[in-house]
Structure 1
Amino acid sequence: MGATNLAGRFLKVNHAGEHGAVNIYAGQIFMARLTARSMVAELIEFKSHEERHRAIFWSELQRRNRPRCKSYWLCGMGGFILGLVTGAFGRRAIAATTVAVERVVLRHLEQQLALLSDKDEMASQAIASIVTEERQHHDQSATHIALDRFWSRILSPIVSAATEAVIWIGMRA
C-alpha cells in the first residue's frame, strides 16, 4: 500500500474515531450532570478538543478529496452509548473509560507518525497536532482513578478491545 493511500486510511479512521470521542463525551456529559457534576466542565473541555481534532482530520480528508470512513456513524452511535453507560456509573467509570480509549489512541497515533513521518508531511502534521491534547486527556483522567481498582480493572480491557476493534474495522472499511 502506497504512503498516500495509507495516510488517507489513517486520516479516515482518525476522523471517525474523533467522531466517536465527541459522542463518548456527549453521552458522559449528559449522565455526569446527574452522577459526577464536578467533572462536567472537564468533559466539556475534552469534547471541544475532540471536535477540533475531528475538524482537522475532516479538513485534510476534504483537501485530498476523500470520503468519510464507512465506520463514521458506527463510531458515533457506539461512542454515545458507551458515554451514556459509563457516565451512569460516575466519576471513576468516566475517567477509566477515557484512560482506556486514550491509551489505545495514543499508541496508534505514535505508530502512524512513525510510518508517515518522512512520507506524508501534511498527514503527519494533522496527526501530530492532536497528540498533546490526547495525552492531556489520558493523564488528567488517570489522576481521577489513581486509587481505583474496580472500574479500571473492569472497563480497561473491554473499552480497549472495543477501541482496537473499531480501528481494525475502520482500516478495512
Structure 2
Amino acid sequence: MLKVDHAGEHGAVNIYRAQILVAHWTAPHMTPVLRYFLEHELGHRALFWGQLQARGVRRCHSYVLCGVGGWTLGLVTGLLGASAIAATTYAVESVVLQHLLEQRRQLETADPDAFDTVSRIIAEEQEHHDHGRDAMQAGAFWPPILTPVVRASTEAVIWLGMRL
C-alpha cells in the first residue's frame, strides 16, 4: 500500500511540475498555487519514502510509470489551460482521497506509523481537491471530458500498482 502511495505521489509531483512548465503561457495566474501544491506533493513523497526506508522496502514497480504518466498528464492538461488544470487536480484528488481514507481505516489498528503518515497527508490532499473543484469554470469545455477520464486513469494506476 505504501509503495503505491509513494509512486502516486511521484506521479503528482510530475503532474504539477509539467503544469507549472506550460502554465506560464496558458494559465499564468495558476502558477503560484501549482507551486504551493507541488511543495505539498514533494513532502508527501518524502514521507512515504521514509516509511518505505524504515521497512527496508524498495519502491513500487509502478514508480516510473506514475512519473511518466504524471508528466504526460500534466503537460497535456497544462497546455489545455486553467479549466483543464483545475479539472485534473479535482479528478486526481477525488480518487486519491478515497484511497487514503480507506487506507487510514485499514491502518488504524494494524500499523500506527503508516496510519499517522496517511493522516498527515489527507488535509493537504483535501485542500488540493477543493481548490480544483472551486477553480473549474462552470460551462467550461474540458472539465466534463477530463474529469471521468482522469479519475478512471488514476484508479487504473492504483489498481495496477497494487498488483505489481
Deviations 1:114-171 (A, max 9, x none): 1111111001011111000000001012111151453221001110011001001110
1:71 aligns with 2:26: no
In the comparison of the two structures, how many residue pairs are matched? 164
Equivalent of 1:60 in 23, 40, 51 = 51
Residues 34-73 of structure 1: CA deviation (Å, up to 9, x unaligned): 1000000100010010000000000010000000000001
Q: Which residue of 2 aligns with 1:117?
A: 108
Q: Which of 15, 19, 25 lines up with 2:6 in the alignment?
A: 15
8 Å CA contact 2:83–2:137 kept in 1: the answer is no
Instruction: Report SS of the residue matched to 1:69.
Output: coil
Q: For 2:35, what is the secondary structure of its paired residue?
A: helix
The partner residue of 2:93 within 92, 99, 102 is: 102
**Where in structure 2 are the equivalents of 1:78-97 lying within 5 Å?**
78-97=69-88
Counterpart code for 1:114: R
Alignment of 1:18-37 (within 5 A): 18-37=9-28
The separation in 2 between residues aligned to 1:141 and 1:108, in whole angstroms, is: 18
Relative to the length of structure 2, the TM-score reads 0.98
1:168 and 1:74 mapped to 2: Cα distance? 13
Identity level (%): 54
In structure 2, the gaps of 5 or more residues are none
Structure-1-length-normalised TM-score:
0.93
Structure 1 stretches lacking a partner, 5+ long: 1-9
Distance in 1 (alpha carbons) for counterparts of 2:39 and 2:162? 25
Matched, 1:46 2:37: yes
CA distance in 2 between counterparts of 1:145 and 1:151 reads 9
Distance in structure 1 (CA, Å) of the matches to 2:69 and 2:110: 33
Distance 1:146 1:119 in 2: 42
| Matched residue SS, 1:70 | coil
